[in-house]
Copies of this chain bind each other. A is one copy, B any other.
């Protein structure tokens, strides 16, 4: 039972863990509040409903994640010397760094679940709040791959998305021993992902 932080933060932390492990339906508010060490009614008091809690779990991480992604993209987008690998780095690295924050790796798993669930409400929420991020990256990929038709470009970005989501949802669960090897591990992972994605996007 977690006893650090405010009630809201404890609920969000426990929700992230349990949603990752058992899914949005599978994790009950009783398991959740029990793990957070708060009263059952606290969820509805602080968040209004379970569905709103799910949205806040996403918001807490995605606001920061996508701000970092857009900031990293802005540094390379439109520049003359920019390579495909630089844009992919702007997309991937913030997510990998998040995976090594406290609970961050579990959040990537929650995100992977949200992709697999074809729930309309959740997709609409994610699209409305964070769709512009994917749109900006798509535009830059298109600029760097002018020989691809629009259809082909969308296909490949979708495939890259699937590969990265799948890979990152399983990444970072096993904790490294020291901070040095953790950074090395993250760097190695980033290289694996970027090399694969760049080659796939660049396929003849």
Contacts and interface: CB of A to CB of B under 8 A. Distances in A.
Contacts of A25: 23, 25-26
Contact of A202 (B116, B197, B199): B199
B196 A204 contact: no
A116 B115 contact: yes
A57 interface: no
B118 A196 contact: no
B23 A117 contact: yes
A159 B166 contact: yes
A169 interface: yes
Which of A116, A155, A158, A193 is most buried by chain B, counting CB atoms within 10 A of its CB? A116
A66 interface: no
Interface of A: 20-21, 23, 25-26, 109, 112-113, 115-118, 152, 155-156, 158-167, 169-170, 192-193, 195-200, 202-204
